[in-house]
Chain A
Amino acid sequence: MPGFVIDAQGIEKSFGTLKAVDGVSLQVKTGECFGILGPNGAGKTTTIKMLHGAVQSDAGALRVLGRDVATQSRLIRAQMGVVSQEDTLDRDLTVYENLWVYAGFFSISKKASLSRIEYLIDFMQLREKWDSQIKTLSGGMKRRLHIARALIHEPKFLILDEPTTGLDPQARHLVWQRLRELKAQGLTILLTTHYMEEAAQMCDRIGIMDGGKFLVEGPPQTLVQEKVGDEVYELRGGASEELLDSLQGLPVTTEIVADILYLYSHNGMGVMEHLISCGRKDFLRRPATLEDLFLRLTGRELRD
């Protein structure tokens, strides 16, 4: 099998006149972790649903785990775990029954599924909830159960659509911790998230999506360095024409958002000294982040 777990070439999907996915090409290698970032409505979920066959592409070619999604989606799903953005846990069943019934869908024997459930219940810290109804679980527990369910058949490839949205910091940290462990075990992972910090730490490569297309794609640190710079200076309370003019010669890019002036510097040299010499000491100096890149690429206007 060629090394690509996902091999998408120019896939497209329209809903009526709206092009939700507009020519996405993406290749993810075995063992890699790829993160899709993008504002609401960018087309992340639609892209993910195309990978497991819940949405059929209008154009392009899509292979997952070496098979064609259009004709062999069932066989692909047998080796793939999916954590959907929406809650799809079975509310009629208990925590244990959810896992046990789902294992049956993968034709896992009763005995094998029991030991796998034992392991996953501990891995996701759900032991006390073993016999509980789904409606008695907190949001974080539901999400953890979702992930446990997606891992029931020891998949080769895991897809997670916003695994930590709506979770408190404790629950979020636990989920990211577990995902890092899975990655270290060699699992190939594709995820979407709005948490830039975690994505930057976790993902080997990220793609920023907007309007159904990838705007950029690559290793997060490299992208930030190339497209934003090393450091950011934030000056609140606006900036005078004078100050802006005096910055001309320096290796910085400027951006003004409402009453904040952002300076993106490429090698820090001299910027701080310059600001101080201009009498400005009220600035915040910090390393450039993925969020800076995200906002610069996708703009600051609200979506939806």
Chain B
Amino acid sequence: MLFPQAPSHRAFRVWVRHLVYYRSFYLAEWAGNLGEHILWLVAFGYGLGRLVPSLDGISYAQFIGPGLMVSVAMWNATYESTYGAYSRMRIQNVYESMLMAPLTVGDIVLGDLLWCASRALIGSTLMLIVLSLFGLVGSLWAVAILPILFIEAVMFAALGLIATSLAHSFSFFNFYFSAIVMPMFFFAGTLFPIKGLPLWVERLSEALPLTHAVRIARGLFIYGYVEDFIWHFSFLLGFTFLFLTVACVLVSRRMVE
């Protein structure tokens, strides 16, 4: 075998393990998610939004809706792949027990990423429901964002797993969140348009994977059409494969001495 730790269909069994655990608390989580989504939308979209003039002919709430949905996927995937995965990998020995069964590190990593993405997808679907209840979804094409969010979530989960395999305690994630995730959230054009800001900010924003997911979402939600879709999509896909590979290598190094 050339890659003894390569992922396979057995990743599904890892995903099932997470699902079995999830069954014990999902209702509480859904309730919490819904509340949080509504709070964000009301506080920013309508609270702050009163001070904001219309942007490119749309209201501020309409502007941030798709951005928030895309960030929900990022936040969910990131939490699950940092705090969640760290506890499975380092504290509860869940990975270790899987490696005593016939699973490879690749199976475990892929299974974890698919799980993080599944949870993120549930979170964003709840957001989609909230947005449509507030009348902020202008096109049925909005539903097409879900598979793209899944890929986005796999990407951020892989990035989170990279952080997890480098972490030596939970406090490392404070750094990860403030150095990577927060700037990503603010500079991806979720809450304010990037156009017109200093050139270096625009450049930085273009390089952030979240920006491209936001562009796709905003296009689908408001116009039912995405400019340069192939470019944005390839950007997401490229980073997904990159982060996935790096995550496999790093977790492997962490698990096999």
Contacts and interface: CB of A to CB of B under 8 A. Distances in A.
Contacts of B1: 71-72
B256 A105 contact: no
Contact of A90 (B97, B99, B104): B97
B257 A105 contact: no
Interface of B is mostly: loop
Given A54-B256, A93-B20, A77 B102 contact: yes
A89 interface: yes
B13 A104 contact: yes
Contact of B10 (A91, A92, A101, A107): A107
Given A92-B21, A101-B16, A77 B101 contact: yes
Contacts of B17: 90, 93, 101, 104
Q: Which of the four size classes fits the interface of chain B?
A: 20 to 34
B20 A97 contact: yes
Interface string A96-118: 01001110111100000000000
Contacts of A53: 99, 256
B99 A91 contact: no
B98 to A, nearest CB: 6
A75 B101 CA distance: 10
B96 interface: yes
A150 B151 CA distance: 36
Interface residues of A, number: 34
Interface of B: 1, 4, 10, 13, 16-17, 20-21, 24, 92-94, 96-104, 255-257
A91 B24 CA distance: 13
A105 B93 contact: no
A55 B20 CA distance: 29
B96 A84 contact: yes
Contacts of A78: 102
A53 B16 CA distance: 24
A88 B95 CA distance: 9
B100 to A, nearest CB: 4
A74 B94 CA distance: 17
A82 interface: yes
A52 interface: yes
B20 A105 contact: no
Contacts of A101: 13, 16-17, 20
B41 to A, nearest CB: 32
Contacts of A105: 10, 13, 98, 101-103
A92 B101 CA distance: 18
Contact of B13 (A15, A93, A107): A107
Interface of A: 15, 49, 52-56, 70-75, 77-78, 82, 84, 86-93, 97, 100-102, 104-107, 150
A104 B96 contact: no
Nearest to A76: B102
A55 B98 contact: no
Nearest to A79: B102
Contacts of A92: 21, 24, 92, 94
Contacts of A55: 256-257
Given A71-B1, A88-B96, A106 B101 contact: yes
Nearest to A104: B13
Considering the complex of A and B, which 5 residue pairs feature the smallest CB-CB distances, nearest first? A105-B101, A88-B97, A78-B102, A82-B100, A88-B93
Contact of A56 (B92, B94, B100, B257): B257
Given A101-B16, A105-B13, A54 B100 contact: yes
B100 A88 contact: yes
A54 B101 contact: no
A101 B97 CA distance: 11
A90 B102 contact: no
Contacts of A106: 101-102
A88 B13 CA distance: 17
Nearest to B24: A92
A288 B5 CA distance: 49
Contacts of A71: 1, 4
Contacts of B16: 101, 104
A91 B10 CA distance: 22
B97 A54 contact: no
Given A84-B96, A86-B93, A93-B20, A74 B4 contact: yes
Contacts of B13: 101, 104-105, 107
